[in-house]
Copies of this chain bind each other. A is one copy, B any other.
């Protein structure tokens, strides 16, 4: 198995796959030698290459674990070197646009199976990797009509052995759902940090005297900026639609406050608990 990018997800994947003896050898590819050496020390990979072609040429399974914006270019680069019968998969947070072009980029005889383990941490990088990262989480696979059934079956088993509950979904449906459940909350948290950045130019008091509410937001907005830039851009249409819907809701709440409508406000605030009960805890 070759893992392209040994950060939080790639590193955790290697760690667990090696521990479970899921593959014979885990090869790491990255641009920074230091990070790859730390990945070896952490037990996440057996060895590494700084050359893409060398990293993938013997691999039965290639996992893309860099920010999603790099996937298409990466696949064009590795295409000539892939073994026939190899499977290319990814762990990215968006699927619709770029994943539908994979079948035409990869050579005949190489399968693509989109994958998204719903797991993450606020910290990033190999140091944050942990073998327990996926345990009990969903992994969404996004097959298309071009996906060979045997490749899909292999990837399903792969993630199940790693401790995930595997769900299959249309790539575009995946992106619509993630826009609501993950991309919107992260964008809102980043936007709040930005608003506070502007406010704190005048005084640091809003931040100094903050309590739990703000801290939860800062945690959400602490993930890798590069990763989230790519997610927002590659799922732009859905994200923007969610932002518009959200602003509409916010304006509605604002109107209730301006009208001093306590009952109307209480009704909306009380409904929030319904969602909490549904959220996987």
Which A residues are within 8 Å of any B CB, using their own CB? 69, 118-122, 137-138, 140, 167, 173, 177-178, 180-182, 184-200, 203-222, 225-226, 228-230, 232-233, 236, 239-240, 242-247, 249-254, 257-258, 260, 262, 265-266, 268-276, 278-281
Contact = CB atoms under 8 A, between A and B. Distances in A.
B257 A210 contact: no
Contact of A250 (B180, B247, B270, B271): B247
A121 B213 CA distance: 9
A4 B193 CA distance: 36
Contacts of A274: 197
A253 B180 contact: no
A211 B120 contact: yes
Chain A interface main SS type: helix
Given A265-B229, A272-B221, A208 B246 contact: no
Contacts of A119: 211
B182 A226 contact: no
A180 B213 CA distance: 11
A208 B186 CA distance: 17
Given A199-B180, A217-B216, A279-B210, A191 B246 contact: yes
A275 B200 contact: yes
A246 B192 contact: yes
B120 A268 contact: no
Nearest to A121: B212
B249 A191 contact: yes
6 contacts: A121-B212, A181-B213, A204-B278, A207-B279, A225-B273, A226-B266
A185 B254 contact: no
A208 B258 CA distance: 34
A252 B193 CA distance: 13
B199 A192 contact: no
A222 B190 contact: no
A236 B261 CA distance: 11
B233 A194 contact: no
Contact of A181 (B118, B207, B252): B207
Contacts of A258: 236, 240
A218 B220 CA distance: 12
A246 B195 contact: yes
A192 B184 contact: yes
A226 B59 CA distance: 59
B272 A190 contact: yes
Contact of A177 (B121, B180, B191, B206): B206
A192 to B, nearest CB: 6
A187 B118 contact: no
Contacts of A278: 200, 204, 207-208
